[in-house]
Structure 1
Amino acid sequence: METETEITAVHATPGYAGFFFDDQRAIKQGARQDGFTYEGDPVTDGFDEIRQAGESLVVDIELENGRVVRGDCAAVQYSGAGGRDPLFQPDEYAPVVEGPVADALEGRDATAFLENADLLEQLAVDGDRLHTAVRYGVSQALLGAAAEARATTKTDVLADALDTDPASEPVPVFGQSGDDRYTNAEKMFVKGVPVLPHGLINSVEKIGEDGETLCEYVAWLAQRSQELGPDDYQPRFHVDVYGMIGEVFGAPYDREEVIDYFAALEEAASPYPIQIEGPMDAGDRVAQIDAMVELREGLADAGVGVDLVADEWCNTFEDVQAFVDAGAADIVQIKTPDLGGIHRSGQAVRYCEGTDTRAYLGGTCNETATSARVCAHVALATDAAQVLAKPGMGFDEGYMIVENEMRRTLARRARDGTRENPTDAETDELAADD
């Protein structure tokens, strides 16, 4: 069947993201909350305030057949921290997308997703590689263009590009609570969310001077989950501590005091499994890997069954490789906006195959509904261990977006598999649906 698949134009429109940009360094250094904002001056380059509005850049790709597909450039909440690219400012990058990026892509065959995405990864402007947010958003649009041109799902385009067999069931969704860690956790229990609650434990106040506040919270999670959850509910607790265990206890991380604290967390979560994200922030990738290995080996030697999740300093594809190769974590967060092209996130998930490290397809609350839906396709295509509910910190909206996108895609793939040669009208209908 003949299909007009040439990319004819690329457009960029500045917009908003699903949450806010926060200066993580300023917060860790003790910035006090003032209602929803923070008092004090930012310390990370690019920030005008410690908390400022999250922004995105909406990318539209036009095809020769007149169809328009979309991707959203977005960056993580804690931009500029932990070795990440600097604060993303859409007004600065819109001319780049409509200029050099458009020049490189216009006229290319939209069906060649992997080739187009790789071209974008290598593109440099004034000698500098494109910001990760730009590569992230434009590659989403390229994926949509390929799915549109081929009249198939984004999951299938990715599976072809990555040589995978897609998941046959929705990937377990990880809900994030934001600071409303009790009410939002209760919402997650009622909906039977498989992995929860994130918790946003990013200060000594939230973890406790000796870590006691976090232990109390985990014990509450274990009890309340059974009061509110569905029958036979078996949650997995996942708490992001933003390096605060390191702040409270300090190195070395295999000493008895630290291991005993993790044993207390395990006991508080019992009978459910618990995984701790970002236990420390050692300041650079090498030091972070060494600290994570030290802690992980200490836990293994003591028979403490708390899984460790790599986040800080695990940003790029190369970072993921380094953490996996070193055995530094039970789980690596693949922080999708930080890897650049969306296919790079899929490749990072695949890199975990055959190792004892599981792949958590994450991201940030500061994305958009568009980027979240695309990530649902990456999760399905690679059968990741878990996928983040996003965007936003209200939980319900992000969970609905990601879970529903996976369910409808699986249903569509089941329908499409029953017909070998769809008619032109059916193909047009399917393409419009995605």
Structure 2
Amino acid sequence: MQIKDVLLAPGAGAFFYDDQAAIRAGATQDGFVYVSEPITPGFTSIRVPASSLSIGLVLADDTVAWGDMMGVQYSGAGGRDSLFDTAQISDLTSRVVVPRLLDVDVSRYLDVCAKVFQPFEGRRLPLAIEYGVSQALLRAAAHLHRTTMAEIVCSQFNLPLPTRWVPIYCQSGDAREINVDKMILKAVDVLPHGLINSRQKFGADGRTFMEFVKWVATRTREIGRAGYRPVLHFDVYGWIGLEIGLEPQRIADFICRVAESVPGFTLNVECPADFGSTQAQIDNYARIVSILDDRGSSARIVVDERCNTLEDIRLFAKAKAAHLVQIKTPDVGSIADTARAVLLCKENKVGAYVGGSCTETDLSAQASVHISVATQADMMLAKPGMGVDEAFSIVGNEQNRLLAMLNRRQGQTQGVG
């Protein structure tokens, strides 16, 4: 099956691109905007509406298979690609990627990705291009084979058809209390993220953060159904290290105290500190993990910053430098590499969390569901956006539809046998 034409359509991401360096430096909020000058190259203001670029592969039967390119919320931070520029990405896609796409057989998914994503002028293509194009190619392969995207992944990686529900993790954004209530009422598996991205939200010595953690646990008991015990997952954007220092022992001590304040719950702490480089992050996170494990703590460390590409994930997983790796899909690049990343984590007995960003779209979120379910990741992010309802319905409904189709497929196979 050849691609006979390629369409490009500019679009909007579901949230905003934010200058993390400026926020960490103390930029104040006025309503929804930040009042200060941007720091990270490419940003004209601290908060920029997220843009995206859709790519449509026109197949021989005139079906159009779409995928979406975009950056992550904190573009240009922690070793990530720079701020997404629709015009630049569109130009590079048209000049370099489109001619490659018009010369492939979309039935061979991994082979096609390898061919289309070859370096250009000695450099890897922008990861946003890999991400969007790989989604479109996966949808095209699924259409050609009259199957689901998840089944293409299973076939390409020699995986059995999945049966297990993958837990869904919701993020609250700044509307913490209201969105936590929504998550609890909807019995979300993992919550609430919390967006602890400033000194004000973390508090002196972490007291504000610790009070919020205890409030979430209390609120879960107050309004949650009987027996409901979600995993409590908080992203602190490096603020433990920023506030109490970069000594692994002190960071581990603090995390233990937080976990002990919410008995009966598993606590995930994402990005407790940023040690400035990938290797430093690996060395120090491995130490924190070891301390927590030796103490038998219920707390788990989740890595995000400095763990972007497939190679980064390989290094963290092999070093046991996290209990759980966030596979931040737009930063990984090709969605095929997201599948590889999950399998790498499993091979090294490290948790695999298929994440992403609030800046994504409905199409990229749905494609991520198929990867998560096919590889049986440990959890996946409800995306896009910073609201609960929309993201939870997009990801949850797609998972339910997919599992219904896979269950039927397995029933048919068993019937034939």
Task: Tell me which of 198, 213, 218 is aligned to 2:213.
Answer: 218
Q: Is 1:11–1:97's contact at 8 Å kept on the other side of the alignment?
A: no
Aligned runs of 1:306-325 on 2, under 5 Å?
A: 306-325=299-318
Q: Post-superposition shift, 1:416?
A: 3.5
Residue in 2 that maps onto 1:55: 51
**Which amino acid counterpart does residue 201 of structure 2 have in structure 1?**
K
Residue in 2 that maps onto 1:7: 3
Residue in 2 that maps onto 1:407: 400
Residue in 2 that maps onto 1:67: 63
**Which amino acid counterpart does residue 65 of structure 2 have in structure 1?**
V
Task: Tell me which of 337, 358, 363 is aligned to 2:351.
Answer: 358
* Cα pair distance change 1:264/1:76, threshold 3 Å: same
Structure 1 position 35 matched with structure 2 position 31:
yes
**Which amino acid counterpart does residue 175 of structure 1 have in structure 2?**
C
Q: Is 1:73–1:134's contact at 8 Å kept on the other side of the alignment?
A: yes
Task: Tell me which of 278, 285, 289 is aligned to 1:285.
Answer: 278
Aligned partners of 1:100 and 1:392: how far apart in 2?
31
Larger mean CA deviation between 202-211 and 136-145 belongs to 202-211
**Which amino acid counterpart does residue 59 of structure 1 have in structure 2?**
I
CA deviations over 1:117-173 (Å, ceiling 9, x no partner): 12233241x443211001100100000000001100000001111222243132100
* Cα pair distance change 1:166/1:276, threshold 3 Å: farther
**Which amino acid counterpart does residue 304 of structure 1 have in structure 2?**
S
Aligned runs of 1:19-418 on 2, under 5 Å?
A: 19-124=15-120, 126-255=121-250, 258-418=251-411
CA deviations over 1:208-258 (Å, ceiling 9, x no partner): 111111111111111111222223212100100000000111121214xx4
Aligned partners of 2:295 and 2:244: how far apart in 1?
18
Aligned partners of 1:356 and 1:254: how far apart in 2?
24
SS of the residue 1:211 aligns to:
helix
Q: Post-superposition shift, 1:418?
A: 4.7
Q: Post-superposition shift, 1:69?
A: 0.9
Residue in 2 that maps onto 1:428: none
Aligned partners of 2:286 and 2:273: how far apart in 1?
12
Aligned partners of 2:47 and 2:23: how far apart in 1?
9
Residue in 2 that maps onto 1:429: none
SS of the residue 1:43 aligns to:
coil
Percent sequence identity is 42
Larger mean CA deviation between 195-204 and 302-311 belongs to 302-311
Q: Is 1:166–1:380's contact at 8 Å kept on the other side of the alignment?
A: no
Aligned partners of 1:167 and 1:181: how far apart in 2?
34
Aligned partners of 1:277 and 1:164: how far apart in 2?
29
| Superposition RMSD in Å | 1.3
SS of the residue 1:81 aligns to:
coil
Aligned partners of 1:210 and 1:107: how far apart in 2?
58
Task: List alignment gaps of at least 5 residues for structure 2.
Answer: none
Aligned partners of 1:195 and 1:33: how far apart in 2?
28
SS of the residue 2:80 aligns to:
coil
Q: Post-superposition shift, 1:99?
A: 2.7
SS of the residue 1:295 aligns to:
helix
Give the TM-score of the pair, scaled to structure 1: 0.93
Q: Is 1:166–1:382's contact at 8 Å kept on the other side of the alignment?
A: no
SS of the residue 2:117 aligns to:
helix
CA deviations over 1:47-101 (Å, ceiling 9, x no partner): 1111001010011000001111100001110001000111111111112223321
Q: Is 2:161–2:406's contact at 8 Å kept on the other side of the alignment?
A: no
Figure out how many residues of one structure are paired with residues of the other and give that number. 413
Q: Is 1:93–1:134's contact at 8 Å kept on the other side of the alignment?
A: yes
SS of the residue 1:128 aligns to:
coil
**Which amino acid counterpart does residue 394 of structure 2 have in structure 1?**
I
Q: Is 2:163–2:407's contact at 8 Å kept on the other side of the alignment?
A: no
**Which amino acid counterpart does residue 79 of structure 1 have in structure 2?**
S
Q: Is 1:46–1:87's contact at 8 Å kept on the other side of the alignment?
A: yes
**Which amino acid counterpart does residue 66 of structure 1 have in structure 2?**
D
Larger mean CA deviation between 309-318 and 30-39 belongs to 30-39
**Which amino acid counterpart does residue 43 of structure 1 have in structure 2?**
I
Give the TM-score of the pair, scaled to structure 2: 0.96
**Which amino acid counterpart does residue 390 of structure 2 have in structure 1?**
E
Residue in 2 that maps onto 1:425: none
Larger mean CA deviation between 406-415 and 54-63 belongs to 406-415
Larger mean CA deviation between 79-88 and 411-420 belongs to 411-420
SS of the residue 2:204 aligns to:
coil
Q: Post-superposition shift, 1:417?
A: 4.0
Residue in 2 that maps onto 1:432: none
Q: Post-superposition shift, 1:419?
A: 4.8
Q: Is 2:162–2:406's contact at 8 Å kept on the other side of the alignment?
A: no
Aligned partners of 2:330 and 2:68: how far apart in 1?
10
SS of the residue 1:141 aligns to:
helix
**Which amino acid counterpart does residue 380 of structure 2 have in structure 1?**
V
SS of the residue 2:205 aligns to:
coil
SS of the residue 1:138 aligns to:
helix
Task: List alignment gaps of at least 5 residues for structure 1.
Answer: 421-434
